[in-house]
Amino acid sequence: MTQNNALWIEGNSRGGKTTALVSQLTQWIKKESKQQSTPLLKPPLILAFNRDKRINLQELIFSHTETLNCTIEIKTPSAFMMNEVELFFPLIAKQLNIKSLFPIRLYPETEQELASQLWREYITVDILSLFGNESIFVRRLLDLLQLAGMAGIPPEDISSNLEKGEIFLLDNINGDLWQTIDKLLLQWRLWCLDNGLLSYGIIYELYWRYLLPNLEYQKSLLNRYGAVFADDLDNFPATMGDLFKFFLSNNYRCAFTYNNKGKVRLGLNADPDYLKTIAQDCEQEFLTVFPIDNGLKKLESSVKLLMEENTPDGDNYENVFSIKTRARAQLIQEVADFIIDNIQQGKINPADVAIIAPGLDEVARFNFLHFFQENNIPVEPLQEKRPLIASPLVRSHLTLLGLIFGGNGRLIERDMIAEMLTVLSPKCSTEWGLQPDIDPIRAGLLADYCYHIDIESPLLLSIDNFTSGERLGYKTFIAYNKIRDWVNQLKQETKAKKLSPLAVIDKINQQYFHDIKSLTYTQINNLREFKQTASHFWAIQNRLGKEKQTIQCLTEFIILLRKGTITANPYPINPLLQEKKQKGITLATIYQYRTSNQSHPWQFWLDISSNLWSKGGAAELFASPLFLRGWNKKPLTIEYQEKQEKERIDRVIHDLLSRATDKIFLCHSDLDVNGNEQMGILLGLTYLASPIHHKL
């Protein structure tokens, strides 16, 4: 039965869906404000599928509602469920009959480490032969818990789904494997709940299984929210569909948008087909705006022909060009040179260019950044996350912690001491820019002569141990002694007052990194992420009763960071900084670009002949099709997978074309980065596009 109070808005990317949603929201706020005092007693629940979309939606809403007195808060599905589970945890604990500890949310990296420790004795040779190594096995099991949680499937049914789906495509699977998977997942779940720890997968399960059906919680939802507005339901998990159906059943004012050519997060916890069933309970509106330029439409139709193994028309495309080389390094060079030349000639601005690849490897990323920055052209890599351990400031913190607490001498090498001395030494202005008083050469000499390697008590020795003092210089002499004296003083203070590693990290920051003006935004962000990671790590240790084992915990912390799995984003979206920063060339994977809600006049599709284009530029989570509500409980066939790939590449091409307003450049090299021949399904397109030496 159609709900007159609910609206379903469907259309393509850049077709006006979000604007229509905001218009509905504005109308609702005005109507409600007339009927009650302001601000609204029951604000709307507004949801967007990721952080980028949330920020864009927020800006659009504020521009339409700035004169209205209404509290606006936008959440992602994950953030909403996490906040609700934490807020109502006593209610959940009562149902499960567990201790109502204040729950601590586990970071993915900590989750992986703790699960590895808990499961290690159960990981057999047979398991490793199927999954490759322990790390992959642990990560996949935790991902399965997430998939099940988002799909509303009990964790005890996970192995049954895997078995029915014949996910390993092997006949000789030992039945014990399924029992082992069940045992490990339920053991992890119970261990976390007993200790008041919440992983993402457990949070999602607690929400759909215990919180959403709870009558007391349902009453709370109805008392707290006055309406529901959600953007891009094609990227939402099934569990959120259940939440929306609850509001619809209570005749709430709801508005949803949906992009049939979107589905970016299919395979990554989203269930677009299930979410689409909501449309039958809504008044439906289809936006007929087609943002794809007529000159690019032929490219989309040619892709469909290629997927059907037919030959596209031989006429050249309009506004589609090709760049073809033999080697990939040559391709990157030619693409960069072509863009630089057009920018320098004033034909295009850096902000109007996007380089999009199915998988952006470090070689391509580094070279593009190098070529553009060498020519003073700004570049914006999307969602570029670097390991925290890649930051010299973070590495210096770890070296200092090892010196101050001792017991970790084997983890502190000579080069780490040298780097720390350079990072911590004062900087002075010279004709070559800021230079440290202890330069890398002298720091290396000091590490050789003045660092005493000892597992239990590593030391910075007196500079008297340096036999050729005249080679150091006065500034280096003073700087080293100051660092050494401060380390020794803090070491004594730590022993006397029994300072925790977190307290020592605070003292390090106060001593050496207190002047924010001297730090770059990336450095500030890395330090902030490091502090948050350390606080989280020791909160977990305290919860597990390990707070007294300081040296052992510090060892685990240093090793965890050095694995490189904990990252920080050097380019976080900050509206205040973004206004000042010059817009640059966008560098992104297909997945990053599609989820960032951007469009550009010129798009460069890198590695167009790579097989990764049919994957959509994003790796699916292991066994994800088995956790869709529409799965028929039958084995996944090769035909099914081929059908999914064809549908995905159709969506990818349509979506990218709708985000291009002028020209497309298809970039192909015969060999990939590993020297292998590239013969992907889209290779045929490059023969129908005009080479770039033709007049643009």
619, 160, 593, 678: which is closest to 383 by C-alpha?
Answer: 593
For residue 3, pLDDT over 60 is answered with no
For residue 337, pLDDT over 90 is answered with yes
pLDDT of the residue at 579:
40
Residue 65 confidence class, pLDDT cut points 50, 70, 90 = confident
19, 2, 8: which is closest to 61 by C-alpha?
Answer: 19
Q: What is the pLDDT of residues 369-399, one digit of tens each?
A: 999 999 999 998 887 777 889 899 999 999 9
Cα 341–chain centre separation: 33
Cα 654 to Cα 261: distance, rounded to the nearest angstrom? 7
Is the separation of the CB atoms in 268 and 254 below 8 Å? no
For residue 198, pLDDT over 70 is answered with yes
pLDDT of the residue at 39:
63
Q: How many other β-carbons are positioned within 10 Å of the β-carbon of residue 58?
A: 16
Which CATH topology does 294-384+574-691 take?
A: Rossmann fold (3.40.50)
Tokens of 611: 């097989």
How is the chain split among helix, strand and coil, in percent rounded to 5? 55, 15, 30
Tokens of 679: 């013969």
Is the separation of the CB atoms in 208 and 629 below 8 Å? no
Q: How many other β-carbons are positioned within 10 Å of the β-carbon of residue 404?
A: 22
Which residue shows structure tokens 């902030």? Answer: 528
Residue 251 confidence class, pLDDT cut points 50, 70, 90 = very high
Residue 520 confidence class, pLDDT cut points 50, 70, 90 = confident
433-436 vs 427-430, strand pairing mode: antiparallel
What's the whole-number mean pLDDT along residues 628-654?
A: 88
pLDDT of the residue at 215:
96
Q: What is the pLDDT of residues 532-542, one digit of tens each?
A: 999 999 999 99
pLDDT of the residue at 571:
43
pLDDT of the residue at 237:
97
For residue 675, pLDDT over 90 is answered with no
What is the Cα Rg of the chain in Å?
28
Q: What is the pLDDT of residues 581-619, one digit of tens each?
A: 458 999 999 999 998 888 899 999 999 999 888 876 666
Residue 425 confidence class, pLDDT cut points 50, 70, 90 = very high
Average per-residue pLDDT for the chain: 87
For the ranges 106-110, 525-529, 638-642, the lowest mean pLDDT is seen at 638-642
Cα 453 to Cα 440: distance, rounded to the nearest angstrom? 20
Q: What is the pLDDT of residues 296-317, one digit of tens each?
A: 666 767 676 666 555 566 556 6
Cα 231–chain centre separation: 20
Is the separation of the CB atoms in 435 and 426 below 8 Å? no
More confidently predicted of 74 and 470: 74
For the domain covering 3-83+208-286, report its CATH number.
3.40.50.300
pLDDT of the residue at 577:
41
Where are the domains positioned within the chain? 3-83+208-286, 105-195, 294-384+574-691, 389-568
For residue 292, pLDDT over 60 is answered with no
Please enumerate, as own/partner, the contacts of 348-353 that have beta carbons within 8 Å and a separation of 24 or more. Answer: 348/601, 348/602, 349/583, 350/377, 350/378, 350/379, 350/582, 350/583, 350/584, 350/585, 351/583, 351/584, 351/585, 352/600, 352/601, 352/602, 353/585, 353/586, 353/600, 353/601, 353/602, 353/604
Q: What is the pLDDT of residues 326-335, one digit of tens each?
A: 999 999 999 9
Same fold, 3-83+208-286 and 294-384+574-691: yes
pLDDT of the residue at 393:
94
For residue 695, pLDDT over 80 is answered with no
Phi–psi pair at 667, nearest 5 degrees: -110, 120
3 state SS of 482: helix
Tokens of 325: 């080389």
Cα 438–chain centre separation: 37
**Hey, which of 284-298, 355-369, 422-436, 678-692 has the most confident mean pLDDT?**
355-369
